[in-house]
Structure 1
């Protein structure tokens, strides 16, 4: 599955410890178009680079992706 550009759920819902980002907080690197401003750069955290969009996690809409990722964050 290709990532839905402008979704940004994976940059909001989960915590990202290497950035000291809490769950359900917008990442400081997420721009106004919900795109990562450090995508492809060496300073991008490995956890972010390793995340791959898939239908089970991201669902069929940005809203579903957010709900799924919030749920996964809560149960892990």
Structure 2
């Protein structure tokens, strides 16, 4: 499955514990990454500064569902289950 352009759920729902340019302490769950633009696209997508955890995320139907709203709900639930 390919990511849905403009979804951004994986840049909002999970916490990220590693530094992100503009967020040196990572980001808490539910907070949009500062590298997410107004169209919900990652400004670091093809950048070496993109955190490894972000680059390793793979879109899957089970996680992302069929809509952006599904993805946000599902990833929030995964975050809650793993913290």
> What's the TM-score bracket when you normalise by the shorter of the two chains?
over 0.9
Q: How far does residue 72 in structure 1 lie from its aligned partner after superposition?
A: 0.2
- SS of the counterpart of 2:54? helix
1:5-24 correspondence runs (5 A): 5-19=5-19, 20-24=26-30
Greater helix share, structure number: 1
Which runs of 5 or more structure 2 residues have no equivalent in the other structure?
20-25
Match of 1:46 among 52, 58, 61: 52
Q: How far does residue 40 in structure 1 lie from its aligned partner after superposition?
A: 1.1
Q: What TM-score do the two structures reach when normalised by structure 2?
A: 0.90
- SS of the counterpart of 1:18? coil
Backbone CA RMSD of aligned residues? 0.5
Corresponding residue for residue 38 of structure 2: 32
Question: Is residue 4 of structure 2 the alignment partner of residue 4 of structure 1?
Answer: yes
Which runs of 5 or more structure 1 residues have no equivalent in the other structure?
none
Structure 1 runs (4+) greater than 4 angstroms displaced: none
Question: Is residue 73 of structure 2 the alignment partner of residue 60 of structure 1?
Answer: no
Match of 2:76 among 43, 46, 70: 70
